[in-house]
Amino acid sequence: MTGRHARRSKVPLGIVVAVLLLSVAVGIMSRSPATGPADAVAPRAGTASAAPGSEALTPVRPEGAQEAAPPEESGGRLVIHGAGDVNVDPTYIPNFRAHGYGYAWSGLGGLFRRDDLTVINLECAVSDLGGAVPKEFNFRGDPAALPSMREAGVEVANLGNNHAYDYGPDALVDTIRNLRRNDIAPVGAGADEDEALSPALLEVNGWTVAVVGFDQVVDPYPDAIATEAKPGTAAGHDAGLMVRAIRAADRGADIVIVTIHWGVELDTQPRAEQVALGHRFVDAGADVIFGHHSHRLQPMSTYRRRPIFWGLGNFVWPSLSVAGSTTAVAEVVVSKHGVYRGELLPAYIQSSGHPVLR
| pLDDT tier for residue 21 given thresholds of 50, 70 and 90 | very low
| pLDDT tier for residue 2 given thresholds of 50, 70 and 90 | very low
pLDDT, average across residues 38-65: 35
- CA-to-CA distance for 234 and 224, rounded, in angstroms? 9
CA distances from 258 to 24, 119, 234, 261, 298 (A): 44, 10, 12, 10, 17
Residue 69, pLDDT > 50, answer no
Residue 223, pLDDT > 60, answer yes
Using DSSP bridges, classify how beta strands 189-190 and 232-233 pair: parallel, antiparallel or unpaired. antiparallel
Helix, strand or coil, per DSSP, at residue 280: helix
For residue 74, the model assigns a pLDDT of 59
Indicate the domain borders of the chain: 78-357
- CA-to-CA distance for 338 and 332, rounded, in angstroms? 12
Nearest Cα neighbor of 177 from 189, 193, 162 is 189
Q: DSSP string spanning 60-119?
A: SS-TT---PPPPTT----EEEEEEEEE---TTT-THHHHH-GGGGTTTSTTHHHHSSEEE
| pLDDT tier for residue 75 given thresholds of 50, 70 and 90 | confident
164-191 per-position pLDDT tens digit: 999 999 999 999 999 999 999 999 999 9
- CA-to-CA distance for 133 and 165, rounded, in angstroms? 8
Question: Class of the 78-357 domain?
Answer: alpha beta
200-220 per-position pLDDT tens digit: 999 999 999 999 999 999 988
